[in-house]
Chain A
Amino acid sequence: MDLGTIWFILWGVLWAVYFILDGFDLGIGSIMPFFAKSNEEKRIMYNAMGPFWDGNEVWLITAGGVTFAAFPKTYAVMFSALYTPLMLLLFALILRGVSFEFRSKIDSPGWRKLWDTCNFLGSFLPALLLGVAFANIFKGIPIDQDGILHGNLLTLLNPYGLAGGLLFVALFAHHGALWLAFKSEGDIHDRAVALAGKLWPVVAGLVVLFLVMSLMMTQLFANYLVNPLLFIILLVAVAGLVLTMTYRKAGRILASWGASAVLIGSAALFGVVGIFPALLPSSLNPAYSLTIQNSSSTPMTLAIMLGVALVFVPIVIAYQIWTMRTFSHPVTKADLDYEEAY
């Protein structure tokens, strides 16, 4: 396998890991206004993601950085063509990031309400925008040979893009409810499990809808038909979807969250494999697509980057798993009384 293909796979995996990890934070933020009944419940939700959200978000920065390093032309065209949605995403993430740190710093209901709103917008909007953006990428975006977008934000809000946006919102909300259930006890735990149960059919319905729309409106299945072995990815996604329900019903919440992670990861990879070898397919003319071939860095850079990734990524995964284990306990009253808690 050549270096470009290896980096294409790593590129897809990085985005998938980002969706899995930040997915539960974004999901908890998205359900918060509809779920929490009191300030204490909100604090349990904040502290359920407290030790993790910052480290999770770095996967986004790494996915962006790797796109820049391995496929600079794709990076350049992707972000300039999607200027407006990307700026919206950045502002949303800014508001979310500071909401964690600022919310508990002044003891006033109005102040907390302000940052709760920011946290909600900063969670819901990224979920929606990332879904819309990636669905459009899977379908192909109207870029010409110079990488200039023919269209505007409304062009991206087509039915398929919106279906992708809703799918992401639902996947993350479900994923977040499960994480909250894992990190809480008592009433809030039970209600989080129940919410995940209510969200599951929505997720399942949107998964089916998205697949049907993909079949009808995109070229995503072409690679699968050429190499039917790839359908394993879809099978894994379906297995994740079913298992997250069975585990939840069996009361094995962490396993259910894991199955949801598998679902999210394979859903992302399903699209990435479908567009191979393009990273940014053009809907105007396949010749304008940005591919591994016409957008990658030199073999020297790709090789050096691969060395860096092989050394550091396993270390990152190791300490992030250690962190999750260290803070795997449910958030309790004692945790909320903890001086540094959010």
Chain B
Amino acid sequence: MDTLMLSRLQFAFATFIHFIFVPLTLGLSIIVAMMETKYVRTGDETYKRMAKFWGKLFLINFALGVVTGITLEFQFGTNWSRYSTFVGDIFGSLLAIEATAAFFLESTFLGVWIFGWNRLSPKLHCTSIWLVACAANFSALWIILANGFMQHPVGYVIRNGRAELSSFLEVITNPYGWNAFLHTVTGSWALAGFFVIGVSAWHLLRKQHVDFFTKSFRIAAGFALVSTLLVAAVGHRQGNIVAEVQPAKLAAMESHWETQKNAPMYLFAVPDPDNEKNSIEIGGIPSLLSLMAFNDPAAEVKGLKDFPAEDRPPVTLTFSAFRIMVGLGTAMLILAVLAFIARHHPEEASHKLLKVFLWTIPLPYIALQAGWAVAEVGRQPWIVYGIMRTKDAVSPIAAHQVGISLAAFFVVYILLASLDIYLLAKYARSEPH
């Protein structure tokens, strides 16, 4: 394999693993902050124990989120140096602002929170976890605004052989970036909500620490329901934005080949990119695609055939990932409603339902990874949509260098991820102190 392919694999793998850890921290930090706030307000020690119990799970995961994030920042320089030179004027500044305005705050106050239980007043201590939670989500905003520029470049001019900033305001108000940010963070909150619901269900199934896990379940159920509703709403808007600014991605998401008005959506389809059609199409609902994409049943939806073959994203992967994301999102919405109904007495819910909640834990993870795949794979062959191709972005380095580092990433990350999951499971099953 050449440097390009190896670098793509390395970045995709590193992002994939990073994105296993980060979503949980985005949501769990807020849930822990809510628990601690309740403790400060009511003085009820159970909520303090809850903040500590869930906080421990948050911390195990946080460490890996941070270390895998650092390598991503540096990979732009190591593996994508031509990209870095081309867009540094805009993209680099967003990363630098993320570090200065958000990541410092998050990392510093996390240390304060961990070591400050006996050294700070309860209010000040509670403030530190809120700072961590806000900074973590604020950090996501800058990263996704940076990604937003890759998806829908705005506020730039091409000059001196690179993209130069022409309007910072446009860059930081990029509608693609903001909506993708909202979609990602609300999805991450939902993930954290289902994580707490699932772990609580495991303890409730065993009738242990019932009060503790009922209260945890209740907070998480409300949080998960609000989050899943928001994900769906923001997700619909995301589809509209993609339809407008990345028509090739939209066509790939739907495996939509022919440009047409009143475009239908199929309940089931199997893409056949080699023959530029779908080998199977079942259950077409007329005009639904036009309606979903443009909020107008008569709207024209551009088909893949209208894009030169070299400008089309990988169809099957984008299409399947999108189906997985939407399917799991729908399932999560139903499960969130069930959890919300059961929230007052989850310990009385049927064993079956509690078991379902336990097995729900992986679903949002898969949904989020699939969503990321839609966004990133669907953007190909562009690294910056419409301006720079991925193949022109790679560093002029030897393939064996990337090959070795990729192998090292693979071994180290898989080991660390396994340990992380092992420790999460161990501490999730432990008795709250």
Chain A residues in the interface with B (C-beta under 8 A): 50-55, 57-58, 60-62, 64-73, 75-80, 83-84, 86-87, 90-91, 93-95, 97-98, 100-102, 105-106, 146-148, 297-298, 300-301, 304-305, 308-309, 312-313, 316, 319-320, 323, 326-327, 338-341
B60 touches A80 (CB 8 A): no
Whether B98 contacts A323 by the Cβ 8 Å rule is no
Contact check, A68 vs B112: say whether CB atoms are below 8 A apart: no
State in angstroms the CA–CA spacing of A54 and B59 once bound together: 12
Q: Which of A50, A54, A79, A323 contacts B77 (CB 8 A)?
A: A79
List the A residue with the shortest CB-CB distance to B71.
Answer: A90
In the complex, A67→B433 CA distance in Å? Answer: 45
- Please indicate the chain B residues that have their CB under 8 angstroms from the CB of A86 in the complex: 74, 77-78
Cβ contacts under 8 Å, B62 to chain A: 101
**Among A93, A147, A148, A297, residue most surrounded by chain B Cβ atoms (within 10 Å):** A297
For residue A95, which residues in chain B have a CB less than 8 angstroms away from its CB?
412
Contacts A55-B111, A72-B89, A340-B114 given; indicate if A77 touches B81 (C-beta within 8 A). Answer: yes
B396 touches A298 (CB 8 A): no
A247 shortest CB reach to chain B, Å: 27
**Contacting pair A80 B78 (CB below 8 A):** yes
Q: Which of B379-433 contact A (CB under 8 A)?
A: 395-397, 401, 405, 408, 412, 416, 419, 423, 426-427, 433
Closest approach, in angstroms, between the C-beta of A5 and any C-beta of chain B? 18
> Which residues of chain B have C-beta atoms less than 8 A from A80's C-beta?
77-79, 81, 395-397
A323 near B88 with CB under 8 A, answer no
Within 8 A of A (CB), among B44-69: 52, 59-60, 62-64, 66-68
B84 within 8 A of A: yes
Complex: A80 Cα to B74 Cα, angstroms: 10
Is B291 close to A, CB under 8 A? no
Q: Which 4 A-B pairs have the closest CB atoms?
A: A72-B88, A79-B77, A68-B92, A76-B81
**In the complex the two chains form, is A83's CB within 8 Å of B401's CB?**
yes
Min CB–CB distance A112 → chain B (angstroms): 14
Asked if B117 contacts A338 (CB within 8 A), the reply is: yes
Binding site for A on B (CB under 8 A): 52, 59-60, 62-64, 66-68, 70-71, 73-74, 76-79, 81-82, 84-85, 87-93, 95-101, 103-105, 107-112, 114-120, 162, 164-166, 168, 395-397, 401, 405, 408, 412, 416, 419, 423, 426-427, 433
Contact B96 A93 (CB under 8 A): no
Closest B residue to A54 by CB, please name it. Answer: B107
Is A327 a contact partner of B81 (Cβ separation < 8 A)? no
Interface centre among B68, B112, B164 (most CB of A within 10 A): B112
Residue of A nearest to B60 (CB): A101
CB distance from B38 to the nearest CB of A (A): 20
Chain A min CB distance to B86 (Å) = 8
Q: How distant is A226 from chain B, measured CB to nearest CB, in Å?
A: 30
By DSSP majority rule, is chain B's interface helix, strand, loop, or mixed? helix
In Å, the complex CA distance between A93 and B416 comes to 13
Known: A55-B104, A55-B108, A76-B81. A61 touches B70 (CB 8 A): yes
Cβ of B67 and Cβ of A94 under 8 Å apart? yes
Could you say which of A97, A105, A146 contacts B427, with CB atoms under 8 Å apart? A105
* Bound: A249/B115 CA distance, A: 31
The minimal Cβ–Cβ distance linking A334 to chain B, given in whole angstroms, is: 8
Residue contact A79 to B100, C-beta cutoff 8 Å: no
Please, which residues of chain B bring their CB within 8 A of the CB of A297? 88-89, 92-93, 165
B74 touches A64 (CB 8 A): yes
Take A68-B96, A80-B395 as given contacts and tell me if A50 and B60 are in contact as well, using a CB distance cutoff of 8 Å: no
Question: A72 is contacted by which of B59, B84, B104 (Cβ under 8 Å)?
Answer: B84
Residue of B nearest to A86 (CB): B78
A68: chain B residues within 8 A (beta carbon): 73, 76-77, 84, 88, 91-92, 95-96
Majority secondary structure, A binding face:
helix
Task: Give which listed residue, A55, A148, A323, contacts B396 with CB less than 8 A.
Answer: A148
- Whether A91 pairs with B408 at a CB distance below 8 angstroms is yes
Taking A69-B92, A320-B108, A323-B108 as given, write out 16 further A-B residue pairs in contact, using a Cβ cutoff of 8 Å, ordered by the A residue number: A50-B114, A51-B115, A58-B104, A68-B91, A73-B88, A75-B88, A86-B74, A87-B78, A93-B70, A98-B64, A106-B423, A147-B81, A300-B168, A301-B89, A308-B96, A338-B118
B98 & A65 in contact (Cβ 8 Å cutoff):
yes
- Of the candidates B73, B89, B115, the one whose C-beta lies within 8 Å of that of A64 is B73
User: In whole angstroms, how far apart are the Cα atoms of A147 and B77 in the complex?
Assistant: 12
**CB pair B78 A79 closer than 8 Å:** yes
Rounded to whole Å, the gap between the CB of A130 and the closest CB of chain B is: 13
- By the criterion CB–CB under 8 Å, are A298 and B117 in contact? no
- Do the beta carbons of B164 and A298 come within 8 Å of each other? yes
Report the bound CA distance from A68 to B423 in whole Å: 36
Tell me which of A58, A71, A147, A309 has the highest count of chain B C-beta atoms within 10 A of its own C-beta.
Answer: A58
A84 interface neighbour in B79, B100, B104, B401, Cβ under 8 Å: B401
List residues of chain B with CB within 8 A of the CB of A146: 396
* CB closest residue in chain B, given A146: B396
Pick the residue among B67, B81, B92, B100 that contacts A316 (CB under 8 A).
B100
- The complex places the Cα of A53 from the Cα of B186 at a distance, in Å, of 30
CB distance from A260 to the nearest CB of B (A): 22
Sample of 7 A–B contacts (CB below 8 Å)? A55-B108, A58-B99, A70-B96, A86-B78, A91-B412, A323-B108, A327-B115
